[in-house]
């Protein structure tokens, strides 16, 4: 059974909230209170490890690609809800550097799905003011998949709404190695010019990461009950809060997103202090 928000909850507008709470959460399940959400503490950056598509499909005697297709609606729902709540950055872990080890038909199907989905969704994202960017190495992707992501970036890069960061062919260890190589190249260029190389600091190395202009996530959400990072944002998540849910990704909706945000807001972030 679901219930609607009260009038008081419907008219709350604060900070970056782009829609009323009654619009974002029209039928709140029993036991969940959207009014408990502290709008002044909406995280600036939410990162999501989308897990469970294969298990969702297996439970329904379907092939894994059917699960990946079903997960697209959860992506749409999460993007829409995060943007409406005023989240500034949403990073979704779409395809890791390790995912190439999966069966070839699944990899091929995912690449086709990425291209079709990006092409189908980009106009709507653009109308909502969402900016689309990718992190990871796009060069090994099939040309049509790579072009779909690049076209989305070109179309939306001037938008000033939420930034959707799609991690595709992304691995955090590779990212850190890439950043260090970029720093070494910068140092070599400085030496050849007779200049001092910049001191290697956390800030300098971070400036060479794929996420150089993106703030670190305050919260990392992982679905399907798994509790590991899986080579995702190892550097950036140093002080992120982790929220894990047993819900499989295709079943993840705005109300589960709300539960995750409420769990995040229940934590006291100390950053190593007391």
The sign one gets for the Cα dihedral 32, 35, 36, 38 is positive
**In whole angstroms, what separates CA 11 from the centre of its chain?**
28
Q: Which residues pair with 222 in a beta bridge?
A: 49, 244
Active site residue 99: yes
Contact 193, 173 (CB under 8 A): no
Q: Which of 18, 33, 38, 51 is catalytic?
A: 51
Give the alpha-carbon dihedral of 19, 20, 24, 28, to 10 degrees: 170
In 3D, which of 261, 244, 245, 258 has the Cα closest to residue 26? 258
Quote the radius of gyration of the chain (alpha carbons, Å): 20
Here the tokens at position 176 are: 């850190």
Place of tokens 């971070």: 206
Contact 85, 24 (CB under 8 A): yes
DSSP 158-196: T--S-EEEEEEEE-HHHHHHHHHHHHHHHHHHHHHTT-P
In 3D, which of 52, 54, 51, 34 has the Cα closest to residue 42? 34
Contact 56, 249 (CB under 8 A): yes
Active site residue 18: no
Q: Which of 30, 53, 63, 99 is catalytic?
A: 99
Q: Backbone phi, then psi, for 56, in 5-degree steps?
A: -60, -45
By annotation, the residues acting in catalysis are: 51, 99
């Amino acid at each position: 059974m679901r219930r609607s928000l009260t009038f008081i909850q419907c008219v709350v507008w604060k900070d970056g909230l782009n829609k009323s709470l009654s619009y974002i959460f029209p039928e709140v399940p029993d036991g969940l209170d959207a009014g408990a959400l502290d709008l002044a503490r909406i995280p600036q950056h939410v990162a999501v490890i989308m897990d469970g598509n294969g298990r969702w499909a297996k439970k329904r005697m379907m092939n894994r690609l059917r699960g990946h297709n079903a997960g697209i609606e959860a992506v749409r729902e999460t993007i829409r809800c995060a943007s409406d709540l005023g989240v500034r950055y949403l990073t979704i872990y779409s395809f890791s550097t390790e995912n190439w080890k999966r069966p070839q038909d699944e990899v091929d199907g995912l690449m086709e799905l990425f291209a079709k989905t990006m092409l189908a969704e980009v106009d709507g994202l653009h109308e909502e003011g969402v900016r689309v960017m990718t992190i990871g190495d796009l060069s090994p992707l099939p040309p049509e998949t790579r072009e779909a992501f690049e076209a989305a970036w070109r179309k939306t890069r001037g938008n000033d709404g939420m930034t959707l960061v799609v991690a595709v062919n992304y691995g955090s260890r590779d990212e850190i190695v890439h950043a260090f190589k970029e720093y070494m190249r910068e140092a070599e260029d400085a030496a050849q010019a007779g200049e001092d190389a910049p001191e290697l600091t956390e800030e300098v190395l971070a400036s060479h990461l794929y996420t150089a202009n993106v703030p670190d996530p305050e919260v990392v959400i992982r679905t399907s009950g798994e509790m590991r990072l899986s080579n995702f944002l190892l550097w950036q998540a140093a002080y992120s809060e982790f929220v894990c849910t047993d819900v499989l990704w295709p079943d993840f909706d705005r109300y589960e997103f709300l539960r995750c945000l409420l769990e995040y807001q229940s934590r006291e972030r100390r950053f190593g202090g007391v």
